[in-house]
Amino acid sequence: NNQLSIPSFHDITYHISLDDQCARIAFDRPEVLHAFRPQTIREIQQALELATEDGRVGCIILASNNLSKYTPAFCAGGDQTVRSNDGGYQDGTETAPKLRVLDLQVQMRRCPKPIIAVVDGYAIGGGHILHMVADITIASDRSVFGQTGPRMGSFDAGYGSTHMARLIGQKRAREVWFLCNFYDAKEAKEMGLINAYYPTSELEGRVAQWVRRVIMNSPTAIACCKAALNADEDGGAGIMQMGGELTRMFYMSKESQEGRDAFLQKRAPQFRSKL
């Protein structure tokens, strides 16, 4: 019995759809446009780990739970009410101020399963970066994209800058950061920031179509494609990720298992390479 127990979350919701072999992690702070505090990020990290390890899950959705009485949003970035003067964000769950969202970005990149960001409304600041770091972004036509850091005293000089430039080009990335303009879904699609956008009423159904197409395909092939696409820009860390996928597959071969068995049986290995 490998049923995983799901912890109780406060700032997010976590669901698995067995029909679609899909986990849905959703921001659940609509009253602050899903701005994230350390607790929010910590919970997403836990949920992402659960989804990654759950053999029933082939695809992971990162979305938000909007309510009609609030402005629709995917995520309005770091919660500025818990931004400390000591170099990070700190709430009751954190013993020191940190930039925990950077760890989440790395976890999303290293997750071997495809992550689809579903953006319905504002994707701003650190929230905008999370959708960029996801593998695929599908948005509603009422979505708004942009960075605000240089306007309110912040910046992301990691993926938020370098990956953005890979997505939309150097000139456009400089415009996004230097001017802090906001862009609608049509502009975001033209720039290459998102894969597709649909009327809000159709979003859920369209996302389900994308998910069904993804889960039809080989999870190992997808994991290796993701690792290779990451390796192209992640340097040594990217090669490590791709190398890890290779090692995992090698461990499944008779040749590799002979090395382990010979060691355990204290004899010389008899390798028969099939290559």
Token pair for residue 156? Answer: 């992301």
CA separation for the pair 52, 217 (Å, rounded):
17
- Is residue 99 involved in binding ligand 1HA (CB under 6 A)? yes
- Is residue 173 involved in binding ligand 1HA (CB under 6 A)? no
Three-class SS state of 39: helix
From candidates 156, 163, 234, 238, binder to ligand 1HA by CB under 6 A: 156
Sign of CA dihedral 33, 38, 39, 42: positive
- Is residue 94 involved in binding ligand 1HA (CB under 6 A)? no
Pattern of binders to ligand 1HA over 11-40, x per CB under 6 A? ---------------------xx-x-----
In terms of CB distance, is 21 or 140 closer to ligand 1HA?
Answer: 140
**In this structure, which amino acid lies at residue 249?**
M
In terms of CB distance, is 145 or 210 closer to ligand 1HA?
Answer: 145
CA separation for the pair 197, 137 (Å, rounded):
9
Closest distance between ligand 1HA and the C-beta of residue 244, in Å?
Answer: 26
In terms of CB distance, is 77 or 114 closer to ligand 1HA?
Answer: 77
User: Percentages helix, strand, coil for the chain, rounded to the nearest 5?
Assistant: 50, 20, 35
- Within 10 A of 247 (CB to CB), how many other CB atoms are there? 10
Interacting residues toward ligand 1HA by CB under 6 A? 32-33, 35, 71, 76-81, 99, 101-102, 122, 124-126, 148-149, 152, 154, 156
